[in-house]
């Protein structure tokens, strides 16, 4: 398969559908459309779970697909976290830090000369936690639950602010060491 054909795959289409749904998810959250937000969030989570598996099963996995997947995740969670911050559910710093962490991830992976993106353990767990943190208030509100309280969700947001800063510092330190030794 030629280089251009690798761009057009079923897995990439699913990934791009998640990215395209991000503005609608943010709008639904910010507008208090709880059911729509929950359905869009469910699609985002399911497509994130399925696209990589689909790519591997169909032999469509590629560094480009990996980059699209991470970019789609970053767009989706940043938009949703931004909407949650807009309505006062999360710290405003969190969506900005998620966007900055993703950009750092892309740029330092390139700077280190690797062919694909270099994952870090804390960064991977943060990525999962971002989705979970979006899901908590979205599902809570869609189901009309009173728990967890907004203060608890906000506190979890601050924990993720701290862990994102630690992850970014760790990634910067690793890149600095790689440049010094290389």
Helix boundaries (H) for 31-149: 34-58, 63-86, 93-111, 121-143
Indicate the average pLDDT of the chain.
Answer: 88
Two structure tokens written together for 46: 């399911």
**Looking at the predicted structure, is the pLDDT value of residue 1 above 50?**
no
In this prediction, residues 86-102 reach a mean pLDDT of 96
Nearest Cα neighbor of 30 from 76, 86, 90 is 86
At residue 81 the predicted structure's pLDDT band, cuts being 50, 70 and 90, is very high
Backbone angles phi, psi at 145, to 5 degrees: -85, 155
State the Cα–Cα distance between residues 108 and 152, nearest whole angstrom: 34
State the Cα–Cα distance between residues 1 and 6, nearest whole angstrom: 7
State the Cα–Cα distance between residues 65 and 54, nearest whole angstrom: 11
Exposure b/e, 98-108, CB count within 10 A at least 16 = b: bbebbebbbeb
State the Cα–Cα distance between residues 9 and 62, nearest whole angstrom: 10
Task: Answer whether CATH 1.10.238 is correct for domain 5-181.
Answer: no
| SS3 label, residue 40 | helix
Backbone angles phi, psi at 115, to 5 degrees: -75, -35
What's the pLDDT tens digit per position in 24-61? 999 999 999 999 999 999 999 999 888 888 888 988 88
93/11: higher pLDDT: 93
Nearest Cα neighbor of 127 from 147, 97, 148 is 97
Q: What is the pLDDT of residue 2?
A: 45
Q: Where are the domains of the chain?
A: 5-181
Q: What is residue 60's DSSP assignment? A: -
In this prediction, residues 100-122 reach a mean pLDDT of 71
- For the whole model, what pTM was predicted? 0.87
| Range name among 75-84, 138-147, 170-179 with the lowest pLDDT average | 170-179
Q: What is the DSSP code string of 79-95?
A: HHHHHHHHTTSS-THHH
């Amino acid at each position: 398969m030629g280089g251009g054909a690798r761009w057009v795959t079923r897995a990439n289409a699913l990934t791009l559908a998640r990215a395209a749904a991000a503005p609608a998810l943010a709008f639904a959250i910010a507008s208090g459309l709880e059911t729509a937000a929950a359905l869009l969030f469910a699609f985002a989570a399911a497509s994130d779970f399925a696209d990589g598996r689909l790519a591997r099963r169909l032999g469509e996995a590629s560094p480009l697909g990996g980059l699209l997947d991470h970019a789609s995740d970053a767009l989706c969670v940043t938009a949703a976290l931004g909407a949650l911050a807009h309505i006062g559910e999360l710290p405003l710093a969190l969506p900005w830090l998620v966007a900055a962490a993703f950009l750092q991830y892309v740029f330092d992976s390139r700077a280190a000369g690797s062919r694909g993106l270099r994952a870090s353990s804390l960064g991977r767990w943060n990525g999962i936690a971002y989705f979970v943190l979006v899901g908590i208030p979205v599902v809570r509100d869609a189901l009309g639950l009173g728990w967890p309280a907004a203060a608890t969700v906000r506190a979890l947001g601050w924990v993720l602010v701290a862990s994102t800063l630690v992850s970014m510092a760790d990634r910067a330190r690793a890149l600095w060491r790689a440049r010094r030794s290389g």
